[in-house]
Each structure stands twice: as structure tokens, then as C-alpha cells.
Amino acid sequence: MTLLLRELKILLRSPAGAIQSLMFAVLVIALFPLAITPDPDQLAPLGIGLIWVVTLLACLLAADKSLASDYADGSLEQMVLSDYPLWWMCLVKSMAHWVSCALPLLLMAPILGAMLAMPLDRIVWLMASLVLGSPILSLFCMLGAMLTVGLNQSSALLPILIAPFLVPTLILGTQWATTGGEAFYGYMLAALLCLSVVTLPFATAVVAKIAVSR
């Protein structure tokens, strides 16, 4: 709990990173109708996919920032050396990443949906799919960030490395929302979330040990 509090304090005092990815997402949604068409009939079917893609990209964009300072100032070394289970700290880091970039987008989804002329029930399904799906994105992003932290070109390498792993979540999430909650996609998404929560923090912890020994 103290650890999560620490992460949130750091986020609150340097909100530039979180705001940047949020602004990116909002701008894409705002510019899209201007560039393609303002016609609601054509826009509405695109809404779910568009907001999902934007959320995914916003998560990727913020990923490397969340670890960079901990690596640079040596906090990561101390975390590896601590008595706390390292996987727990990796999970906390993922939660902080989720709070800083997925949660604001989730809360803004009704506004973003309205900007794309989405009907209300679509927006509700979109939000439900983001609730289940976006934590998976954060967990994978943290794994990718840990893999590339301390490398010179980490921000270029990270999306290439991690994007393929985000695709199943994207497909299941968008399909679940577009089909209006077809059980198969929902179960698969929930299963993927459970699997990610119980495996990825451990993988990230293993990678963290390698990262600090570089």
C-alpha cells in the first residue's frame, strides 16, 4: 500500500507524462471526425475500435517513462534488493501505470464516445471492455518497459517488442464491445486478464533482476 501511495505521489507531482498521453488520445479522437467525415452514421461504427486503439497507443506511449526515473536514480536496484517480493512491486508499478494512463481514458470514454456520435449502449459496452482489457495492456507495457529500461533507444524498441502481445487483447476487447457483450469474447478477455495478473508480474520481476545487473 505504501508503495502504491509512493507511485501515485510521484505521478501527481510530475503529471506531464500522464497528461501527454491523455492529450494525445483526446486529440486523435477530436481530429478524426474533422479529417474523415463529420457524418454520425459513418462515425458511430468506428467509435469502439478507434477508442481502443487510442487507449493502447496511449499506454505504450507512457510505458517507458514510468520506469525511467526509478532506473536512473537507483530506486530499482533498491527494490530488487528489498525484502519485499519483487513481483508485488512490479504489480504495483503496473497498477500505477494503469491509474495514470488507462483510468483517465476510461473515465473520459463517455465524452470521447459522444465526440464520435456513439449511442449510449455502445459506450457502456466500450467502458466495460476497457475495464477488463486495459489492465492487461498495463501489465504487458510494464514488462516491455522493464525489458528496455536503461537501453539507449528504449522508446523506439518498446512498441515493436510489446505491440504484438497487445493484439489479442485488442481483438477480444473490441469484439466484445461491438457484439454487444457476446459471452465468448467476454470470457476470453476475463481469462486473459486473470492469466496476465498471475503471470506477468513474475515475468517482470525476473526481467528487473537482469535490468539492474546490466
Partner 1 sequence: MLQIESLSCFRQDRFLFKDLNAKVLPGQALQIVGENGSGKTTLFKILAGLFDEYEGRVILADAGRPLYLGHRYAVNDQLTPIENLNFLLKLNDMQQAEGPLTAALARFQLCSGLDQPCAALSEGQKKRVALARLMLTSARIWLLDEAFSALDAPGRAVLSEVCQAHLASGGTLIFSSHQGIPEFASAAQLHLKAEL
Cell 498495463 locates to 138
- With binding defined as CB under 8 A, does residue 152 bind partner 1? no
d(CA 134, CA 168): 12
Find the part of the chain contacting partner 1 (CB under 8 A) among 9-17, 52-60, 98-106, 140-148. 9-17
- Helices 120-148 and 103-115, axial angle in degrees (round to 10): 140
| 8 Å CB contact between 189 and 173 | yes
Shortest separation between residue 91's beta carbon and partner 1, angstroms: 15
- Tell me whether residue 81 or residue 156 sits nearer to partner 1 (CB atom): 81
Nearer to partner 1, 84 or 187 (CB): 84
Q: Mark the segment that binds partner 1 (CB under 8 A) among 1-9, 36-44, 142-150, 183-191.
A: 1-9
Least Å distance, CB 41 to partner 1, is: 47
Residues 183-212 that bind partner 1 (CB under 8 A): 212
Indicate the residue among 2 and 153 with the shorter CB distance to partner 1: 2
Q: Which position among 4, 10, 190, 197 is part of the footprint of partner 1 (CB under 8 A)?
A: 10
**All residues at 6 or more sequence positions from 128 whose CB lies less than 8 Å from its CB, including other chains:** 176, 177, 181
Nearest to 165 by CA among 75, 90, 71, 56: 56
In order, the DSSP letters of 90-124 are HHHHHHHHIIIIIHHHHHHHHHHHHHTT--HHHHH
At residue 30, what is the residue type? Answer: A
Site for partner 1 in 28-87 (CB under 8 A): 69-70, 72-75, 77-84
Q: Which is nearer to partner 1, 50 or 145 (CB)?
A: 145
Q: Which residues bind to partner 1, rule: CB under 8 A?
A: 2-3, 6, 9-10, 13-14, 69-70, 72-75, 77-84, 212-213
